[in-house]
Amino acid sequence: MADVKITTINSGTELEAPAQDDILPITDVDDTSEATTGTTKPISYKNLLWPPTIYSWCEDFDDEIAAVQFEAGLKADFWVTAGANYAAANVTYTAGAGGTLDAKCANANEDSVTIFGVGNIRVDLNPIMEARFKIDDIATAFCCVGFAEGAFVDKATPDDDIFVVGLDADNGHGFGATHIVALSNNAAAGGIYDDMTVVMSNGTYVLIRIDLTDVTQPRVWINGTEVDAGDISGTVQAGTTLSPYIMVQNLVGAVQRTLTIDYIRTWQERG
């Protein structure tokens, strides 16, 4: 990365920003670096670019400190919450500071909760998403977080343009009931499962990152480690507008499954 020269001019500061090709990818940015007047030193996105070229958004689920229903919260206009046998009382902020959301499906076969955000993510602007979540019990559960063009209440009929990462415990994909998988469906060509080769455990948070910069070769990280490109065959349709998406579904029997989401954040170019 090219250095940034910082020169004091009276009470102001002059920045000589590097060319776009010299800027590190978001995944490689060192957010701990600082700019010191009178020195030459690389600095991060949050301090560097003016005008800003990166749009970022974060949902930390910290707008409420009481266990109120998600639909009654301050961010209700951003999200549409629905599902099979959906009940608003089953999707709540966690009580206390810190910010998490609990999405609990109803307790019948194939009941689900879908949480679908505003469509402000454009594939052609190279979006990246990061999320941290956990499932209380893997058995009979489907859950995912990622990008979607439209909500779908049953994992058997995914929307026509999605790229999500999560768990499908019925193991129809054959990778193993506890394996984290990616699910894509490019222009309704048919759902494709890819094995992320990482096991998910009951009640244990996983951190995922999805990078759609290359629509023919999406990239995924699980808990900070990138999944080998050869393990990802799913693709994404160029030119689409997507939304952040969260889903949990009970696949068999009269049980409930609870997906807890700590945060979701996205980046993309401003265009």
Cα–Cα distances (Å) from 46 to 50, 56, 58, 128, 136, in that order, read: 10, 10, 14, 16, 35
Q: How far apart are CA 101 and CA 76, in angstroms?
A: 13
pLDDT value of position 261? 97
For 211-226, what is each residue's pLDDT tens digit? 999 999 999 999 999 9
Task: Render pLDDT for 174-193 as a digit per residue (tens, 0 to 9).
Answer: 999 999 999 999 999 999 99
- Residue 11 confidence (pLDDT) above 60: no
Domain ranges in the chain with CATH number 2.60.120.200:
57-269
Distance CA 86, CA 70 (A): 13
In the block, residue with structure tokens 């990061």: 130
Mean pLDDT, rounded, for 98-102? 90
Q: What is the pLDDT of residue 257?
A: 97
User: Are 23 and 3 contacting, i.e. CB atoms less than 8 angstroms apart?
Assistant: no
Give me the helices (H) in the chain, please.
Answer: 45-48
Please say if the pLDDT value at position 35 is more than 60: no
Residue 248 has pLDDT above 50, yes or no: yes
- Cα end-to-end span (Å), the chain: 22
Sequence-ordered list of residues with C-beta below 8 angstroms from that of 236, at least 6 positions apart, any chain: 123, 147, 161, 163, 184, 186, 212, 215, 218
> The whole model's pTM is what?
0.81
**pLDDT for res 76:** 87
**Which residues touch 37 (CB under 8 Å, ≥6 apart)?**
6, 8, 13
* CATH class of this structure's domain 57-269: mainly beta
Question: Model confidence over 59-94: pLDDT tens digits?
Answer: 999 888 888 999 998 888 999 999 999 999 999 998
